[in-house]
Structure 1
Amino acid sequence: MIASSATELGSMLREARRAKKMSQSELAAMVGVTRQWVISAEKGAPTARVDLMLDALRCVDLLIDVVRDDSADALGAVFGDGGG
């Protein structure tokens, strides 16, 4: 699975939580956050704290693997000028 946005990562979190038959409240309790935080994270809230998102992903047996994307398109999307 590859996520290139907060929305895609949140969707993966939701799918994995549901696959484990875990409620949002149960996940929230495991992570130490509110149910509203889980709802926001699953919707792809760009302000979700990375440490909490990592904890939530771990609770549903997901890990993040960061890989380099050297494509000019990726750099252009970040910098708006085609790479630098």
Structure 2
Amino acid sequence: MPRKFWASVVDPVMEAMCNFDFDGRKLNVRENRAFQGKEALTRFVHENYPEIGCANAIEFKKFYMDEWTGEPNQDDLAPMRGLIKCAAAAAERALS
């Protein structure tokens, strides 16, 4: 991601996610962690539209679900929705 164009958006989103209280837990939020197979779209956007497109792949450790069965932990669904709303609101503020 070309940070000179997008740090003002990405940094507040990451900060909001770091500070989000996930039922007494804090999440480990990091940037530039490569996950195989997830980088083709982001690379395409950043190489072809560096000043108008910012693509971020957000990966979550599957602590909120049983990774083998796909069954969510019902107690974690509401906080996950809250986290995503919080991150979206931070992006919206940064872009306005």
> Is TM more than 0.5 here?
no
Q: RCO greater where, 1 or 2, for CA within 8 Å and sep 6 or more?
A: 2
TM-score normalised by the chain length of structure 2: 0.29
TM-score normalised by the chain length of structure 1: 0.31
